[in-house]
Amino acid sequence: MSSRPSVGFHPPRRLIAALVGLAAIAVVAPLAVAPMPYLWDVPNHLARLWVLLGYAKGTPVAAMYQPDWSLAWTNLGLDHLGMVLGQVLPFDALGPALVALSLLIVPAGLIVLNRALFGGPHIWHVGLFLLAWNFIVVGGLLSFQLGLGCALFAAALDTRLTGLSRWRRFAARAAMATGLMVVHVFGLMFFLLLLVGLDVGRRRPPVEQPIARRLIVRRLVYATAACVLPVVALALFAPRLPGAHVVPGAGAQFKATMLQFPPPTVLEHLSIMLTPLKTYDLVPDLLTVFAIMSLPVFALLRGRLQMHFGLFWLAVTLFVLCHFVPSTLFGTGWIEKRLPAMAGLMWAASVRPQLPATVRGQVLVGCLLLGAVIARAAFIGTVWSGQQAAVRDLRAVSATIEPGSAVLVAEQFTGSVSDPRAPLGRYAHGEPIFRHLPTLLVIWRQAFVPTVFSAAGKQPLKVLPPWIQLAVPEGGTPNLDELDAPEALIDFHYLADWRRRFHYLLVINADLPNVGRQIGDVPGIREVAVRPFARLYRIDKP
């Protein structure tokens, strides 16, 4: 491995720029075939933004939800960006625009940081667009994705601040850290980790020398202090901290939101490590891993891999640590997936393969990388296009719901999240990506759905009484077997006396059989509309 400046022949800058531009277009191309991006949390985010932008005024939804920006000081990247874009875009275009920016900001940040470390454009930058699609995006965690991209840009900017005095650079870092905390607190964490890697240095530091050790420790202390300052301010002055909704007395709770670890299986932990690249299906994801790893590995074997020592080995460390962190902590999930997401991006920014040595060979590699990006985008587009049928079914069955109605959502479950009968993309690596689609009823029918995100400390949205009695700040969806099960009240408190409290029962994932209770065995409901993915029932009041 080498940390020397690049040598050899390079394709014209315009050719690299053209390949990078085509890769960027390919990444966002699936949005052209899918009016509703098929990402887990995105429908829920859109329902919240619809209220925040004022579209609920004059509708029954105004008595259900109310914007309250004092509730959250972090995790607001998507909300602030949505508020800005919502002033100039029609609402139907807002979702695709937010997804497009969330997809592009990460490879753009990787390119900027990689150029700051190694200089100039490079064919490797085309392959970085393979990292635009990852399980963070599939999960719809767009504020986190925006935070990752912003952290990469901030780290690249920090490399340009070495000429400033110590305290001016400290102030600049603290200012960037404050902005990142507003976007997403894990974006701030990623920025700190990037600073640590940068401060360790491009080459292995002589840590056996006391002077070198003291220098590194001093650098790391300053970097940590700059990033900790906004966190301290958040802890001291924010009205509500993230996770406040799982504190007794702070609203509805969801089982296991305080602390939970992933299953201790080999396959689960291999899946965790695939987070930076996995999407909807294992085989295409493994092909993507091969596509992005082949060039650096080949360059490493030939001794032509440039590497930033601090960032590279910190990325390796994060990949190891991700196996020992909880999956859920204080109301925030997917903790174990966030570290490998950071590690993958840090690794990609920290290397630059210098193969092959001829212009023709590099152009060929660039075209192959672009072909991999296009193939990945085509796969995503296929999944999204196929799942638009579920969106259409949901819209069709909900057409008769009266504004102001309360809609209880339940799902059918076959007993397996890998059931081969499920359409491609319905589940992604065991996760039910369809689950938040019913929150679109807030927009389409001005109806109440219990699961619109309203977690104190994370979303600037307040659920108003009496609707607060039916709401959960974040959570899942009961299946048919849980509708009348007393033990289900731990997770879904609103199921208590649900026939009296709700007007409609909406059953989703209805084209797959339920493993236990059948919908015909649920008393007190009358069929209203049926489509393959969704069925609507009127609830008979007791």
Number of domains in the chain: 1
Range picked from 168-177, 200-209, 240-249, 471-480 for highest mean pLDDT: 168-177
pLDDT score of 421: 92
pLDDT score of 532: 97
Evaluate whether residue 314 is within a structural domain: no
Asked whether the whole model's pTM tops 0.75, one would answer: yes
User: Which stretch of 247-256, 443-452, 453-462 has the lowest confidence by average pLDDT?
Assistant: 247-256
pLDDT score of 158: 96
Long-range contacts made by residues 521-529, C-beta under 8 angstroms, separation at least 24?
A: 522/480, 522/483, 522/484, 524/499, 528/397, 528/400, 528/504, 529/396, 529/397, 529/398, 529/399, 529/400
**Higher per-residue confidence, 167 vs 239:** 167
Q: Rounded mean pLDDT of 353-372?
A: 88
Q: Rounded mean pLDDT of 310-317?
A: 96
Evaluate whether residue 119 is within a structural domain: no
**Higher per-residue confidence, 4 vs 401:** 401
Q: 275, 341 in Cβ contact below 8 A?
A: yes
pLDDT score of 7: 46
Range picked from 5-14, 245-254, 449-458 for highest mean pLDDT: 449-458
pLDDT score of 333: 78
Long-range contacts made by residues 159-168, C-beta under 8 angstroms, separation at least 24?
A: 159/113, 159/116, 159/117, 159/198, 160/116, 166/222
By CB atoms closer than 10 A (0-12, 13-18, 19+), residue 540 is exposed
pLDDT score of 3: 47
Q: 78, 46 in Cβ contact below 8 A?
A: no
pLDDT score of 239: 84
Q: Rounded mean pLDDT of 230-235?
A: 93
pLDDT tops 50 at residue 254: no
pLDDT score of 258: 60
pLDDT score of 75: 94
Evaluate whether residue 499 is within a structural domain: yes
pLDDT tops 70 at residue 1: no
pLDDT score of 255: 44
CA dist 435 and 426 (Å) reads: 9
Evaluate whether residue 516 is within a structural domain: yes
Q: 227, 219 in Cβ contact below 8 A?
A: no
pLDDT score of 332: 75
Give the three-class secondary structure for 433: coil
Q: How many angstroms separate the Cα of 89 from the Cα of each of 23, 84, 460? A: 25, 9, 21
Q: How many angstroms separate the Cα of 226 from the Cα of each of 222, 229, 236, 508? A: 6, 6, 16, 47
pLDDT tops 60 at residue 257: no
pLDDT score of 32: 95
Long-range contacts made by residues 11-15, C-beta under 8 angstroms, separation at least 24?
A: 11/123, 11/359, 11/362, 11/363, 11/366, 13/120, 13/121, 15/363, 15/366
Evaluate whether residue 343 is within a structural domain: no
Evaluate whether residue 522 is within a structural domain: yes
Range of the domain at 535: 387-539
pLDDT tops 50 at residue 250: no
pLDDT score of 9: 58
pLDDT tops 90 at residue 261: no
pLDDT score of 244: 64
pLDDT score of 212: 77
Q: What does the mean pLDDT of the chain come to?
A: 91
In degrees, rounded to 5, the angle at the alpha carbon of residue 154 between the alpha carbons of residues 150 and 159 is 150
Percentage of the chain modeled with pLDDT above 70: 94
pLDDT score of 11: 73
CA dist 136 and 450 (Å) reads: 24
Q: Rounded mean pLDDT of 174-178?
A: 97
324-343 residue pLDDT tens:
888 877 667 788 899 999 99
Cβ-Cβ contacts under 8 Å for 129 (sequence gap 6 or more): 20, 23, 24, 26, 27, 107, 373
Q: Rounded mean pLDDT of 253-267?
A: 66
475-505 residue pLDDT tens:
889 999 999 999 999 889 999 999 999 999 9
Evaluate whether residue 396 is within a structural domain: yes
Q: For residue 524, give both structure tokens.
A: 């007190």
pLDDT tops 60 at residue 310: yes
CA dist 171 and 243 (Å) reads: 29
Q: Rounded mean pLDDT of 497-523?
A: 95
Q: Phi and psi at residue 148, in whole multiples of 5°?
A: -60, -45
**Higher per-residue confidence, 239 vs 521:** 521
pLDDT tops 80 at residue 228: yes
- DSSP conformation class of 513: -
Cβ-Cβ contacts under 8 Å for 177 (sequence gap 6 or more): 188, 191, 192, 226, 227, 229, 230
pLDDT tops 50 at residue 220: yes
Q: Whose structure tokens read 């109440």?
A: 448
**Higher per-residue confidence, 356 vs 384:** 384
83-123 residue pLDDT tens:
999 999 999 999 999 999 999 999 999 999 999 999 999 99
381-439 residue pLDDT tens:
999 999 999 999 999 999 999 999 999 999 999 988 888 899 999 999 999 999 999 99
Evaluate whether residue 373 is within a structural domain: no
| Beta strand pairing call for 504-508 and 407-411 | parallel
Residue whose C-alpha is closest to residue 85's, from 77, 75, 97: 97
Q: Rounded mean pLDDT of 515-528?
A: 93
